[in-house]
Amino acid sequence: MVRKEKGKPVGRNHINGIEGFWSYAKNWLYPYRSVPQKFFHLYLAEVCYRFNHRDEDLRPLLRKLLTATPTLEIKPILVRFG
């Protein structure tokens, strides 16, 4: 339940959070104007992740992922054939 004192919402769950998310999502998705409908859920999932972790420093997570992935798995992706 959300209480209002002097016109300001108190608590975490209120409409401003939802409006803030959709504003963030629209701005982030704007460059991708022609997202195929069958992939839209993937774009939206990335927006959700970015929104939920927007105040965090993601460098430690990236460093952890890079050290956990063996180089042999990355090399075939980087090699061009033909």
Chunk the chain into consecutive blocks of 10 residues (it has 82) and report each block's average pLDDT, rounded to whole numbers.
60 71 89 87 91 88 82 61 59
Q: Residue 33 has what pLDDT?
A: 83
pTM of the predicted protein model? 0.55
Give me the phi and psi of 10, to 5 degrees please: -115, 130
Task: Determine the Cα–Cα distance for residues 65 and 69; give it in Å rounded to an integer.
Answer: 6
For the chain, counts of helices (H) and of strands (E)? 4, 2
Structure tokens, 22: 């959709």
For residue 9, give the DSSP letter.
E
Look up the domain containing 64 and give its range. 3-78
The total of structural domains in the chain comes to: 1
